[in-house]
């Protein structure tokens, strides 16, 4: 993988644009495909970028004399809120640079999550505990994904579902305002949550996670942002942040606990998991300290 090219693509936020050919109605924009010498074209009527952006980018590179054109991988292109790429047996969201590589996206997302964790850790050091607000939630999501996705930090505008399973998150019938008002009243208003009882802290973190995941406010990254935001609750109470849960060992329990919270308002199963994960994270933290001595 050409890392310099990848870095440039992200820095320019060009959705993978490479060159233009043709004029008028015959004009087409060519975007980078998976291999270096391959491109796919988008008709002028379906351009991803504004005319001004395209003119500027077109000045930076000449069209190859005989480009290899491959099948356009974009699906649902006409729907600006649900643009996905089908490539290498994966569906990837619209992203800066038009990335078609799952590995590349995963690497960028991991960097973003780590950046968000650092942001939260810094907030936790403030003398006056910081509450979790809707603005902070959006800011954390931007920390995670602003270098990857154009909709980072924006409330979703599409229905969601998880794989082929029955779990679905439709758009709120009456819009986001009443949903967020209830979330602020029942959960966010209780932050910063400071308590000497570690179990009580873990159970509140679970309540936050359960209600947050029931809403699923973003197009992607709801689970990861839920964990990152929960770390603020734990850190503000002198607890260690959660390690990423063992997806093989705990996945079914985690999903079932989230469903209990979403369908029944029962946060106990998720609270039990958070208490368990916090105990493991504490042991891992102490083991690392011992190794450093």
The predicted-structure confidence for 179-210, as pLDDT tens digits, reads as follows: 999 999 999 999 999 999 999 999 999 999 99
Q: What percent of the chain has pLDDT over 90?
A: 52
Q: How far apart are CA 15 and CA 148, in angstroms?
A: 10
The answer to whether residue 233 scores a pLDDT higher than 80 is: yes
Verify that 151 and 275 share a domain, yes or no.
Answer: yes
| Banded pLDDT at 28 (limits 50, 70, 90) | confident
pLDDT in tens, 153-184: 999 988 887 765 567 899 999 999 999 999 99
Verify that 241 and 156 share a domain, yes or no.
Answer: yes
* Strand locations in the chain (E): 17-21, 28-32, 38-43, 68-69, 74-75, 84-87, 90-93, 160-161, 168-169
Q: How far apart are CA 125 and CA 241, in angstroms?
A: 13
Look up the domain containing 19 and give its range: 3-100
Verify that 284 and 145 share a domain, yes or no.
Answer: yes
CATH number at residue 120: 1.10.3290.10
Angle at the Cα of 48 from the Cα atoms of 98 and 79, rounded to 5 degrees: 95
| Banded pLDDT at 21 (limits 50, 70, 90) | confident
Q: Give this prediction's pTM.
A: 0.87
List, in order, residues 6 or more apart from 80 with CB less than 8 Å away.
none
Task: Find tokens 């990848």 and name the residue.
Answer: 6
Q: What percent of the chain has pLDDT over 70?
A: 90
Number of domains in the chain: 2
Confirm if 134 and 191 have CB atoms less than 8 A apart. Answer: no
Half-sphere exposure for 231 (CA within 13 Å, toward CB): 26
Verify that 131 and 47 share a domain, yes or no.
Answer: no
More confident residue, 246 or 32: 32
The answer to whether residue 291 scores a pLDDT higher than 70 is: yes
pLDDT in tens, 5-16: 566 667 778 888
Verify that 172 and 42 share a domain, yes or no.
Answer: no
Q: Which of 34, 67, 100 is the last residue of a domain?
A: 100
Bond before 192 cis per omega within 30 degrees: yes
Task: Find tokens 């902070």 and name the residue.
Answer: 136
Q: What share of the chain is helix, strand, coil (3-state, %, to 5)?
A: 50, 10, 40
DSSP sequence for 181-242: HHHHHHTGGG-S---S-HHHHHHHHHHHHHHHHHH--SSS-HHHHHHHHHHHHHHTTTPPPP
Q: How far apart are CA 50 and CA 47, in angstroms?
A: 7
Q: Which of 83, 100, 117 is the last residue of a domain?
A: 100
| Banded pLDDT at 1 (limits 50, 70, 90) | very low
Verify that 210 and 263 share a domain, yes or no.
Answer: yes
Verify that 124 and 170 share a domain, yes or no.
Answer: yes
């Amino acid at each position: 993988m050409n890392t310099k090219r990848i870095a440039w693509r992200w820095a320019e936020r060009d959705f993978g644009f490479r060159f233009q050919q043709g004029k008028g109605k015959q004009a087409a924009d060519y975007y980078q495909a998976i291999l270096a010498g391959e491109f796919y074209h988008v008709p002028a009527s379906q351009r991803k970028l504004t005319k001004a952006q395209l003119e500027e980018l077109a000045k930076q590179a000449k069209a190859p004399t005989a480009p290899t054109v491959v099948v356009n991988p974009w699906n649902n292109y006409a729907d600006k809120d649900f643009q996905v790429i089908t490539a290498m047996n994966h569906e990837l969201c619209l992203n800066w640079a038009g990335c078609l590589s799952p590995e590349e996206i995963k690497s960028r997302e991991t960097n973003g999550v780590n950046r968000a964790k650092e942001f939260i850790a810094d907030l936790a050091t403030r003398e006056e505990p910081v509450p979790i607000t809707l603005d902070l939630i959006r800011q954390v999501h931007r920390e995670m994904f602003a270098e990857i996705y154009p909709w980072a930090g924006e409330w979703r505008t599409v229905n969601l579902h998880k794989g082929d399973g029955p779990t679905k998150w439709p758009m709120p019938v009456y819009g986001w305002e009443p949903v967020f008002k209830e979330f602020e009243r029942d959960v966010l208003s209780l932050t910063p949550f400071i308590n000497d009882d570690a179990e009580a802290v873990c159970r509140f973190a679970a309540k936050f996670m359960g209600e947050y995941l029931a809403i699923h406010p973003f197009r992607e990254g709801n689970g990861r942002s839920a964990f990152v935001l929960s770390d603020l609750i734990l850190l503000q109470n002198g607890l260690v942040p959660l390690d990423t849960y063992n997806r093989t060992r705990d996945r079914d329990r985690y999903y079932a606990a989230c469903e209990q919270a979403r369908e029944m308002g029962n946060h106990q199963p998720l609270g039990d998991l958070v208490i368990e994960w916090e105990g493991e994270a504490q042991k891992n933290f102490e083991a690392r300290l011992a190794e450093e001595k």
